[in-house]
Amino acid sequence: DCGALCMTQQRWDVAMDHFRREVAARIVIQGAEHLDVATAATNLGKCLMELRQPHTAAQHFLKAHRIFQRHLGPGSIEVATAVLEIGKAYHAGFREDLALEHLSIAFSLLQQQGSRPRSKIGAVLMQLGSVYLNQGDCATAIQKFEAAREEYPGLSDSADLGIARAMSGLGKHMEAEALLVTTKAARLSEYGLRSDEVAEVQEALAETLARGGRVPEAMAHARAALATR
């Protein structure tokens, strides 16, 4: 599948064009409410998210959600996943109230699944933590990030980054810095110096140090983040 291959290669613009054509073709051939249309619309939405077009992505996720719910029922894993993607799109578009609403629904739906989808539940908790962090509720954000780490250990690295940012928001700059230094070391080992993952930690360190009044050090980490990317 050309679209799936391009997604794997992170060629998001090419993949987007492929899935846009696929959605249009499947609507003509199979009808607008076919499950294959929902699958293609979901993939199109994911590409748009990577291309930083969350508002347009949300429209495609909403379309997929409607189709999945009609064919598979409101309790299906496909519906729960679609609601998660809608919540992520709203969060990326800074529509935090809508994001919180949909992520809370997704969390409830995923918990009702017979076989517990831990990675997806962890992803919802991470998104919820990020929403609360953006809203300034750092204490609740920490609770969500910790719950995500416990739910799915594969998210520990990202959860620690979120916890550190929330700690910084609470004025716990030294604790946040220590956690970020550990996270940076882990990401350096896994991804290497020139990676977005390491740059993300450098940016968080710059923010934390600036909040703690250590502006020259913060500037150094900000420059390092730019160089890393």
> What are the pLDDT digits (tens) for 198-221?
999 999 999 999 999 999 999 999
Q: What is the pLDDT of residue 111?
A: 94
CA dihedral 115, 116, 119, 124 (to 10 degrees): 130
pLDDT, averaged across the chain: 95
CA distances 216 to 52, 138, 159, 204, 219, Å, are 31, 26, 27, 15, 5
Find the DSSP H helices in 112-195.
118-134, 138-151, 156-169, 173-191
pTM, 2 dp: 0.90
**Nearest residue to 86 via CA among 108, 62, 121:** 62
Q: Are 212 and 173 in contact (CB under 8 A)?
A: yes
| pLDDT (tens digit per residue) in 63-78 | 999 999 999 999 999 9
